[in-house]
Amino acid sequence: MPDVVIQAPESFEHSAQIPAGAIRDDPRSVKPWAPVVLDLRYCRFVRPPAALWCLVFGLLNAKWGQKCELLVPEDVGVARYLKTIGLFDLLKQNGVLVDDRDITPTLADQVAVQLQRFQSETDVDRMADEALERLRNAGLGAANMRPVVVETFAELANNAVQHSNSSIGSFGMVQYYEWQAGPRFVCAVADGGIGIRRSLERNPALRSRLYYDWTAVELALQERISGTGDPTRGIGLYGIAQDMRQPGRHLLVHSGFGIVSQNEELETDSRRGSLFPGTLAFASLAT
């Protein structure tokens, strides 16, 4: 049976850039009908949200015992970056084939927390403390912004712990990033769980409003919206969304086929995207 090859774009920012037809089945619930190959060979850029999609998609496919392989970028700089953040090692440790021979890490001092699995709020606290200490020790970014990005990471990560029901756990990273638009902090969290729509469906009062995955994501960013129905819950993600409504900040949430983006011009875009099997949350803050 021929492999299913998913070809990543040259500038791979997030999984919404993957053509919808390229992902045949949802690996959370359907065993892949053929070996899956994630082809990053021609990528010149791979941003953290795209790396997390590779991780979650790869691990969910590997869970079925089906062969899954990631082809590393031919661009040495990109390959070294993905090695540095820990993507290749996490995939290999969980049964995904990655030929990363002779690839060495780079700019490790800018990665405050490599991609790590977490499954409890204790894990999140440990990662947050580690991120803040490393950012301080390295003197990266504005001192007043370091706690902000760490608190943002912790809130997004705790949401994943509390609501995702992910069979592969949750994953996150924190990084200082130098790029064309200026220096910034980024944090990213992802899981292979039930997704925002199914989580909110636990609350009967919300079910009639959950038409699509993207409307569910929009709803989750509103105040006091929670699958628990508890009026004291649903504050954290709303607070993050409000905090990110500032120039120089960007928030991306992708769950199932729904993607919502708040860009640096303070505009919000909600749409259908290709499948993220679980939930991704990514925040970028200028420093």
pLDDT for 234 beyond 50: no
What single-letter amino acid sits at 118? F
Please, what is the Cα angle at 147 between 145 and 148, to 5 degrees?
Answer: 60
Residues 211 and 254 in one domain: yes
**Are 144 and 251 found together in one domain?**
yes
273 and 186, same structural domain? yes
Rounded distance, CA 220 to CA 241, Å?
A: 10
**Paired tokens of 265:** 């011009």
Q: Please check the confidence at residue 24 and state whether its pLDDT lies above 90.
A: no
Examine the domain organization and report whether 216 and 234 are in the same domain.
Answer: yes
Q: What is the pLDDT of residue 108?
A: 76
Amino acid 207: pLDDT = 86
**Percent of the chain predicted with pLDDT > 70:** 94
220: its two tokens:
């989750």
State which amino acid sits at residue 21: G
Residue 261's domain comprises 107-287
| 132 in the same domain as 100 | no
Residues 195-215 have pLDDT tens digits of: 999 999 988 888 888 999 999
Helix count and strand count (H, E) for the chain: 8, 11
Q: Is 68 within 8 Å of 34 (Cβ atoms)?
A: no
- β-pair partners for 143: none
Give yes or no: residues 37 and 72 share one domain. yes
42 Cβ partners below 8 Å, 6+ apart? 7, 8, 10, 73, 74
pLDDT at site 265: 63
For the chain, what is the mean pLDDT?
A: 91
Same domain? 190 vs 51:
no
State the Cα–Cα distance between residues 214 and 256, nearest whole angstrom.
Answer: 8
Q: Which of 276, 239, 245 is nearest to 263 (CA)?
A: 245
Do 197 and 245 fall into the same domain? yes
Q: Report residue 264's pLDDT band, with 50, 70 and 90 as the boundaries.
A: low
Paired tokens of 52: 């997390």
265 and 155 in a common domain: yes
CATH number at residue 128: 3.30.565.10
Let me know whether 142 and 260 are in one domain: yes
Residues 133/100/18/58 CA torsion (nearest 10 deg): -80
Beta carbons of 33 and 25 less than 8 angstroms apart: yes
* Domain boundary, last residue among 65, 91, 106: 106
> Do 187 and 51 lie in a common domain?
no
Residue 87 sits in the same domain as residue 52: yes
Contact 266, 167 (CB under 8 A): no
Q: At which of 106, 139, 164 does a domain end?
A: 106
Number of separate domains in the chain: 2
Phi, psi of 39, deg, nearest 5: -100, 105
Question: Residue 259 pairs with which residues in a beta bridge?
Answer: 254, 271
Least Cα distance to 270 among 16, 27, 97, 96 occurs for 16
Q: To which H or E segment does residue 218 belong?
A: helix 213-220
Q: Given a cut of 80, is residue 39 above it in pLDDT? A: yes
What's residue 82's pLDDT? 97
Judge whether residue 233 has pLDDT over 50. no
Domain end (from 80, 106, 132):
106
